[in-house]
Structure 1
């Protein structure tokens, strides 16, 4: 999830653990702890694209990280804070650390909660930025913050924020199941034979859902709103995996395939190959759009070693997408 959401969640967790003891400081430390797992993003400045993608939401988003580093941060804080209960500080940091990846596991990218096991949890029931999750949560947190540390209302508001936000996540799982059945029924109606079907919410909402469908030689992408009245239209993207040739056997290419969970297409432009991660779709609601959210240029050196470089996104595409989303949410 986005940084603001993780700050809010971390602050609420901190308040739940130590709010009665140290007041708003508990929120502050919880907010800081809630952002620490995302420090792995700096790996993109220190290593190549493929390695950075593997590291992202890896070790720092694991239970192991929470277990190892919670006592360390608790020890450091106990050195200079008046409140010196090591056990409670450890609990605050552990819960703030571990709830971060649990929330991230609800998104499309997912997390390696059980690192070093190669298991990435991705339930795909919320978008990485979801105002319906974050805004009510933030409002309750602010209301709690304004109360005295021993006030019953303080605990009431903070607990209400945790309950409402968690309930919303449960609701999104139900909505995901409904949308999955909608896509499954539509594929049957259109007599489309497929190998796999994955669904996820579109940006900033859980009303309009997107589906990735794998067929024998192509992937299909479709959208379905709960306000739709017409059949779903699917865009088709030919896999073109054969364009990789010998590159398909290279370890770095295999790693990229593993990162994308096999949901990728290859296209060729001006004798240059591009690797498109289909899991995140395109920056457009238009049929057969080609501006993929994650598109990587493949450069090959004299020794046949590939380098993957992410193509920059165009701001105008993002602005246009928001407008298209608003129209599509209202139904087809």
Structure 2
């Protein structure tokens, strides 16, 4: 999730756990610090844009490593504030603020390596968009109320904020399951089969409009569904995955890392002899956030590795916003760039 959401979640948990045992501002401050700490890995340079993208949400988001860090950080906070509040309470507050960061991230589609070093698998339900005001706002209101009103009614406001935001995450999972069942019933015959992979994620900033991507070995199919749509099946557009290019790439090509990280929800393409890979999970046709050039075609027709270069695009923000508001409301208008 975005930094504001993580800050608000960490601060609200700090306030909730510490309660009247310390000043509300101290609990909010250190909870917010712990809640944002895992994202400091964005400052690590792994050598190229593709490696940086795949490396994010790695060791700094491991539940194991963060649990090991929590006691030391809690002891430091305890010493800074003169050992006034119980160390055990600071330990619980800091630990919860730390581990809920990757757990919240795992609700998005990006992928979070929760169980390093035991497995490199990137977990992600894809049930909430990376920025969603309806999740973040209750937390912010609760923390601000606690800071303003202090212990007492402020703590109750904070507790309500946590409850509402958590219920919103549950809502997202429920709607995702509903849309998934609708998508499976509406898939074109050519999209079905044992090789089918299905991705259902919310469109930006909401959980009303959902994007569906069904993929097999040779094609992927993209469709959208809003809870306000008129009755009828989801309509899909078909696109080529570029599987022939994928098979022709050298085994040690950097694209293999992104393929594994994205659970094979990728597309390959060739333009002017340059081979690119696109992560289909984040974006929509024809605009994707994470797209990289990874190889070039030699004179003899073979493909040679090259240092990845980022070539992603977000499209026109104004045009995208206009489409989003119309499509959320149930108007069946084509996405920008596909008209």
Calculate the TM-score normalised by the size of structure 2: 0.88
Deviation, 1:33, is 0.8
2:176 counterpart residue number? 176
- The aligned residue for residue 73 of structure 1 is 73
Shift of 1:31: 0.6
Q: Kindly report the root-mean-square deviation, in angstroms, between the aligned alpha carbons of the 2 structures.
A: 2.2
Q: Which residue of 1 aligns with 2:261?
A: 259
1:275 maps onto 2:277 in alignment? yes
The correspondence for 2:238, drawn from 215, 220, 236, is: 236
Q: Which runs of 5+ in 2 are unaligned?
A: 333-339
Check whether the contact 1:296–1:308 (CA below 8 A) recurs between aligned residues. Answer: yes
Question: In the alignment, what sits opposite 1:295?
Answer: 291
Paired positions, count: 321
1:212-270 deviation per Cα after TM superposition (whole angstroms, max 9, x unaligned): 10134101111011111254221222011222454241253321211221111111112
Where in structure 1 are there 5+ consecutive unaligned residues? 283-288
Query: What is the rounded CA distance, in whole Å, between the counterparts of 2:66 and 2:34 in structure 1?
Result: 10
Distance in 2, matches of 1:46 and 1:52, equals 5
* Aligned counterpart, 1:187: 187
Is the CA contact 2:7–2:35 (under 8 Å) kept in the aligned structure 1? yes
Aligned to 2:335: none
1:95-116 CA-partner distances (Å, limit 9, x unpaired): 1000111111110113111112
Matched, 1:321 2:320: yes
Contact 2:274 2:297 (C-alpha < 8 Å) held by counterparts: no
Alignment of 1:13 with 2:8, yes or no, is no
Aligned counterpart, 1:196 = 197
Query: Whole-Å Cα distance in 2 between the matches of residues 298 and 119 of structure 1?
Result: 23
2:77 aligned counterpart, secondary structure: helix
Q: Which residue of 2 aligns with 1:30?
A: 31
Residue number in structure 1 paired with 2:336: none
230-239 or 20-29: which moved more? 230-239
Over 3 Å counting, the alpha-carbon distance change for 1:234 and 1:118 in structure 2 is same
CA distance in structure 2 between the aligned counterparts of 1:192 and 1:277, rounded to whole angstroms:
19
Q: Secondary structure at the match of 2:210?
A: strand
Counterpart CA distance in 2 for 1:145 and 1:16 is 12
Displacement after TM superposition at 1:51 (Å): 2.9
Task: Report the Cα offset of residue 273 of structure 1.
Answer: 1.3
Deviation above 6 Å: which 4+ runs of structure 1?
none
